[in-house]
Structure 1
Amino acid sequence: MTSPAKEFNLVDEPWIRVLTPSGTAEVSLQEVFARGAQITGLAGESPTQDVAILRLLLAIAHRAAEGPNSFTEWGENWNNRTNLLVAVDEYLTRHRERFDLRHPSAPFYQVADLHTSKNAMSPVSKLVGDIEAADAIFVHRAEAGLTGLPWAEAARWLVHLQAFDYSGIKSGAVGDPRVKGGRGYPIGTGWGGQLGVVNLVGGNLLETILLNMVVPDSATRITSVTDLPPWERPPLTASEELEMANGPRGVVGAYTWQARRVRLAGDATQCTSVLICNGDKLTPQNRMPIEPMTVWRYSEPQTKKLGYPTYMPRKLSAEKAFWRGLSAALPQRPLDGAKEGTSGGRPPGIIENFQVLRNNYILDWQGAVPLQVTGLEYGPQDAIVVGLLHDQLDLPLAAFGETAEQVASLVDESLNLADAVGMIIGRLAQNLYQAAGGDKETSDKPRDAARARFFAEMGREFHKWLPTITGEDEDESVQWVATVRRTALKIRDELVADVGTQAYKGRQVGDNYVDVGLALAWFGAALKKLVQVEQ
């Protein structure tokens, strides 16, 4: 590596940005666990960076605890946290050498002798993110003319890169047989980029780590002997790691998957350049046993292609916010599209884990259950980043108890109602647009804008309503219906207020005459059918 011999060891160098009651700070791996009860949460440059680092911390915790392999063990860790902290400290000390970011032969998350045929390196901005994307989410760094990063920040972005790097052509590493003409051809995004990552949130960072430590299903349990992170395996080379050709052996492997081969270079104070090449490819089909931090959807096309029931991670989309499909993440509820003889989908393993812990009185949790969801949205061929998606919902405790099925049904029905009303809001916007002189062929834009406005308001209402429901009170449904109706009428009035006088005169559109009065009448009739109220 073109860097000083002095180490930068993540075990004891402060590099993880955290939020404390007194503000933000940078802490080392040892500190982040030792002070975890006093740390509110992670506070890096982006939510995706935070969740990538959280998954790294989870891998360390799982390996240090050598489990948990049973719910009893999980409860022991929760009730006696000192034991886990001691185990983590001993584990980090034991493997300290492999956490050196500038190690001469085995640098953390890198390949020491990685190089291209031309010995080319890229600007350090490539480590930060796709700042050239049309919707550049890290553009603030570009504005600073990014020429170097402190090693602490470079470490954060390195962890992020392995989890969320976009696909596309990469530098061709010497020694990688997949390289053609000096180029590494696309193998997909980092593993985190293929997911909509969900995680439970505790009262402090240590609780967050514990809540997301899952007990493996007995039918798919993978022993700690085989589920090893990269720092417990031989140092990587430029080529694919053949031992991992079939994918991760467990959650530790998934959380630390090396999708890229990387080399950082710089001086004593900062990282100034980076080389990013293809690493290990990971396909998403049926990875439920090793990936508990995402919703899994049943895929009919993949099932037909492969010849057996196949599930895919539910990725995030700006077009449809996560809350609108929340019922898929709740226990005891199949996803929409379930086929006879198959499950429509599966909630995240962390949700199922939490349900077992609570129902077996291992975890005495009171109040709502905070759930965060994080992901990147990519453009064509996943070759650019077009958006960052992040949200937090407070799940009702009843979703994990005796009325879990009723809660899931209520949520499902409520979301279906919102979707249906969103459709007629869109049709109203189209009719008003055409009444004002707009072409039918271009009416999709006002339709989509009106629907987006409606769902933005409904999202705020849903976030308030969700933690209050129990599944036992009919008034909960009545309250939601009233909220949907009130919001729909508000958007209706706003849409009408925006149209000009031409829309009141109306005009012939195809076989129909359209004006404001008729558009409102059609809307009112459709809304009445859905919410059963007089207009």
Structure 2
Amino acid sequence: MEGGTAMTDEGDLVHGAWLRTVVQDGVQQCAGLLDVVSGAHAVRRLELPVHTMLPVVLRQLLLPMVIDALGAPATRQEWGERFHRGRFSLDEQERLAHYLGSRYGDRFRMFDAERPFAQVAGLQALNGETKTAAQLVPSVASGNNVPLFSALSEADELLLTPWEAVLWLLHAQCWDTASIKTGAVGDPQARKGKTTGNPTGPLGQLGVIVPTGRTLYETLLLNTPIMPDGLEPGDRPQWAWDERPAASGCASPAGAAWSERHATGLLDLLTFQARRIRLIACETEQGLRVHRAIVSAGDRLVQAPETEPHTAWQHTAKPKKGQPHRRPRRLASGRAAWQGLGTLLAMTLPVAGDGPYTSLLLRQIGDLRHDGVLSGQYPLGVETSALEYGTQSAVVENAIGDELPLPVQALLAEDADLRELVLECVAQADQVARALDGLHSDLRRAAGGDPLPRDKGSRPSAQFLHSLDGTMRRLLAGLRSVDVDDEEILDRAQLAWEQCVQIAADREAGLLLAAVPPRAVVGRTVKKGDKEFVYRSGKAIGVFRKTLAGVLPLAAEERRAKYEEAAGV
């Protein structure tokens, strides 16, 4: 670390104005950790540079700090008392101030000479070199990671403000690629100046699911697991690593050495130090800037524990030998979050077979609703995020991020009505999308061509599903406030959805028909083996409309009734 007292003052995370928030009147403000947490009831959301940053700030900073200072709620009733208070009490604010003051305040300084936050003081590469700070930012070219639209090349110097640097530092602890890492002085496992076999950061192996509330205070509670037995003995966050018992087997994150291990508890899991990093700053005309960094190997998480709160699971009834029954379920690229509602709303463990199982926190929210602690009309949101890696997970190919309104009532394990309605709507969109792709293939055959190869070309289903995105989000937002015992309201919601799907499908089908040449009306006959198949545009659209009527029965019945009324039948 270069510099002295000025750097230490500027890197004070507790009091420095660095974390950007949006308060209830929509105004953006920057504040330090203490002010952000104490005033969490007045913060609508955090304003962060990328979608994958929200779980980073929650896990590496806010959640472990609050849970360690105040303790996790032991019962649903205690959770509810905190939640309905809507803010930290005066006593809790004093405990948080003590935690971030005399107890641990000196451990939240970025450029401290002895204990820089989430870094290793004096970390040195075996070859004595440092690299550009761009290696912390996945969207900027660095090493083998060369994004297509990066504005900088590896030869360009990236200057990060201290506050930008701390966010990307924590982002690297959670999401860093599995590329070869710089061998560090003092790491006995480094070979020939480097460390190989690194996994991605812990979040890179998950499909991250974060429930969100109306305020930051509510979001913190929605992401706090209820722990009847409290925290595990000796479980400490990374900034209190020296308080972990020697028997835990954890290597100090303040040194270059690292270990492959299980998480010792929730606080350790949330603040897991998957890399050993040192930020290097310099003075510029614009002020202090981080321009270089050393990123070396850090602790390796053996596997995500079933207490991991921010992922859904893929349950396997009969796993291979040595494999767990549950493994984190990743997010699919190119799909909106609502297309994965089957996973988010999988409230029952599929013991007898294989299938998805939703996250611990969403299950907890369902239990809170069951006990009447959380209202069925509560405006719950869910943010999902993931990174897609390529070439041995050494590069970032794609970032996935979405946010979704979610009806709390759909999270009740024993009340399936609303959940079945939502899942039926998702299934209808998927079935109509496949029918549109089938129509497209048949029209291409009728015109004398062949269907698109499975992995090539643009399909009408993609545009169709995209056109339904706003409709589905409005449906979910509306269902958050309905009376689920009123079957008429649910029927009307289903009908309105089907009518919207019908309109969107008709529009896409019309575009496909308009694009085919006149010869498609006559069509052609294709022989496959001993059978002959006739493809004509008229036949193709007839099959499509029949399929549509079967998939959208309420909309079809409504159309039929209006037709008969108009015809005077």
Question: TM-score under structure 2 normalisation?
Answer: 0.83
Q: CA deviation at 1:190?
A: 1.1
For residue 341 of structure 2, what is the aligned residue in structure 1? Answer: 326
Alignment of 1:276-291 (within 5 A): 276-285=295-304, 287-289=305-307, 291=308
Contact 1:167-1:187 within 8 A present in 2 as well = yes
CA distance in 1, matches of 2:92, 2:452: 62
For residue 228 of structure 1, what is the aligned residue in structure 2? Answer: 236
Contact 1:422-1:454 within 8 A present in 2 as well = yes
Query: Structure 1 residues 365, 422: closer, same or farther in 2, change over 3 A?
Result: closer
- The answer to which of 428-437 and 85-94 deviates more is 428-437
Contact 1:328-1:345 within 8 A present in 2 as well = yes
For residue 275 of structure 2, what is the aligned residue in structure 1? Answer: 260
Query: Structure 1 residues 365, 61: closer, same or farther in 2, change over 3 A?
Result: farther
Confirm or deny that 1:355 pairs with 2:354.
no
Quick one: which of 52, 55, 73 aligns to 1:51? Answer: 55
Runs of 4+ in structure 1 deviating by more than 6 angstroms, as ranges, are 141-144
RMSD: 2.9
CA distance in 2, matches of 1:73, 1:64: 16
CA distance in 2, matches of 1:399, 1:380: 39
Contact 1:134-1:386 within 8 A present in 2 as well = no
Query: Structure 1 residues 409, 141: closer, same or farther in 2, change over 3 A?
Result: farther
Q: Number of aligned pairs? A: 519
CA distance in 2, matches of 1:384, 1:314: 20
Question: TM-score under structure 1 normalisation?
Answer: 0.88
Q: CA deviation at 1:339?
A: 5.6
CA distance in 2, matches of 1:382, 1:395: 32
Alignment of 1:406-417 (within 5 A): 406-417=417-428
Query: Structure 1 residues 120, 506: closer, same or farther in 2, change over 3 A?
Result: farther
Gaps of 5+ in 2: 243-251, 560-569
Q: CA deviation at 1:386?
A: 2.0
Contact 1:194-1:284 within 8 A present in 2 as well = no
CA distance in 1, matches of 2:446, 2:391: 35
Contact 1:331-1:355 within 8 A present in 2 as well = no
Query: Structure 1 residues 522, 431: closer, same or farther in 2, change over 3 A?
Result: same
Query: Structure 1 residues 419, 365: closer, same or farther in 2, change over 3 A?
Result: closer
Q: CA deviation at 1:182?
A: 2.1
Query: Structure 1 residues 92, 493: closer, same or farther in 2, change over 3 A?
Result: same
CA distance in 1, matches of 2:369, 2:451: 54
1:226-259 CA distance string (max 9 Å, x none): 2211100035222214xxx432223322221111
Contact 1:259-1:280 within 8 A present in 2 as well = yes
CA distance in 1, matches of 2:440, 2:513: 9
Contact 2:139-2:147 within 8 A present in 1 as well = no
Confirm or deny that 1:32 pairs with 2:40.
no
Confirm or deny that 1:42 pairs with 2:46.
yes
For residue 92 of structure 1, what is the aligned residue in structure 2? Answer: 100
Quick one: which of 122, 136, 142 aligns to 1:113? Answer: 122
Contact 2:262-2:303 within 8 A present in 1 as well = no
CA distance in 2, matches of 1:485, 1:146: 53
1:201-224 CA distance string (max 9 Å, x none): 2222222212221213x4xx5625
CA distance in 2, matches of 1:378, 1:502: 45
CA distance in 2, matches of 1:99, 1:464: 42
CA distance in 2, matches of 1:118, 1:376: 31
For residue 150 of structure 1, what is the aligned residue in structure 2? Answer: 161
CA distance in 1, matches of 2:448, 2:73: 65
1:139-164 CA distance string (max 9 Å, x none): 35769955311111101111111111
Query: Structure 1 residues 437, 15: closer, same or farther in 2, change over 3 A?
Result: farther
Query: Structure 1 residues 44, 521: closer, same or farther in 2, change over 3 A?
Result: same
CA distance in 1, matches of 2:421, 2:376: 22
Which AA in structure 2 matches 1:499? V
Quick one: which of 464, 478, 488 aligns to 1:468? Answer: 478
- The answer to which of 27-36 and 430-439 deviates more is 430-439
Q: CA deviation at 1:493?
A: 1.3
Alignment of 1:69-80 (within 5 A): 69-78=74-83, 79=85
Query: Structure 1 residues 35, 355: closer, same or farther in 2, change over 3 A?
Result: same
1:248-273 CA distance string (max 9 Å, x none): 22332222111111111012401110
Query: Structure 1 residues 460, 356: closer, same or farther in 2, change over 3 A?
Result: same
Query: Structure 1 residues 339, 212: closer, same or farther in 2, change over 3 A?
Result: closer
Which AA in structure 2 matches 1:531? L
Which AA in structure 1 matches 2:56? A
Query: Structure 1 residues 491, 85: closer, same or farther in 2, change over 3 A?
Result: farther
Contact 2:347-2:413 within 8 A present in 1 as well = no
Query: Structure 1 residues 156, 530: closer, same or farther in 2, change over 3 A?
Result: same
Contact 1:63-1:224 within 8 A present in 2 as well = no
Confirm or deny that 1:239 pairs with 2:257.
yes
1:314-362 CA distance string (max 9 Å, x none): 222223332112132226345xxx462x573432222222233333333
CA distance in 2, matches of 1:145, 1:50: 28
Q: CA deviation at 1:54?
A: 2.0
Quick one: which of 125, 139, 149 aligns to 2:134? Answer: 125
Query: Structure 1 residues 300, 356: closer, same or farther in 2, change over 3 A?
Result: closer
Which AA in structure 1 matches 2:17? P
Alignment of 1:50-449 (within 5 A): 50-55=54-59, 56-78=61-83, 79=85, 81-82=88-89, 83-93=91-101, 94-132=103-141, 139=150, 145-216=156-227, 218=228, 221=229, 223=231, 225-234=233-242, 235-236=252-253, 237-241=255-259, 245-268=260-283, 269-285=288-304, 287-289=305-307, 291-299=308-316, 303-306=319-322, 310-330=325-345, 332-334=347-349, 338=350, 340=352, 344-364=355-375, 366-400=377-411, 404-440=415-451, 442=453, 444-446=455-457, 449=459
SS at the partner of 1:12?
Answer: coil
Query: Structure 1 residues 451, 365: closer, same or farther in 2, change over 3 A?
Result: closer
SS at the partner of 1:168?
Answer: coil
- The answer to which of 197-206 and 273-282 deviates more is 197-206
CA distance in 1, matches of 2:470, 2:552: 20
Which AA in structure 1 matches 2:208? V
- Same amino acid, percent of matched pairs: 28
Gaps of 5+ in 1: none
- The answer to which of 271-280 and 77-86 deviates more is 77-86
CA distance in 2, matches of 1:331, 1:526: 28
Contact 2:181-2:196 within 8 A present in 1 as well = yes
Q: CA deviation at 1:503?
A: 4.0
SS at the partner of 2:28?
Answer: strand
Q: CA deviation at 1:389?
A: 1.9
Bigger Cα Rg:
2
Query: Structure 1 residues 404, 389: closer, same or farther in 2, change over 3 A?
Result: farther
Q: CA deviation at 1:468?
A: 3.1
Query: Structure 1 residues 162, 224: closer, same or farther in 2, change over 3 A?
Result: same
Confirm or deny that 1:451 pairs with 2:490.
no
Query: Structure 1 residues 529, 72: closer, same or farther in 2, change over 3 A?
Result: closer
Quick one: which of 489, 492, 505 aligns to 1:488? Answer: 505
For residue 249 of structure 2, what is the aligned residue in structure 1? Answer: none
- The answer to which of 392-401 and 267-276 deviates more is 392-401
Q: CA deviation at 1:107?
A: 1.3
Query: Structure 1 residues 148, 313: closer, same or farther in 2, change over 3 A?
Result: same
CA distance in 2, matches of 1:11, 1:49: 19
SS at the partner of 1:47?
Answer: coil
Q: CA deviation at 1:102?
A: 1.1
Q: CA deviation at 1:68?
A: 2.1
SS at the partner of 2:290?
Answer: strand
Query: Structure 1 residues 113, 486: closer, same or farther in 2, change over 3 A?
Result: same
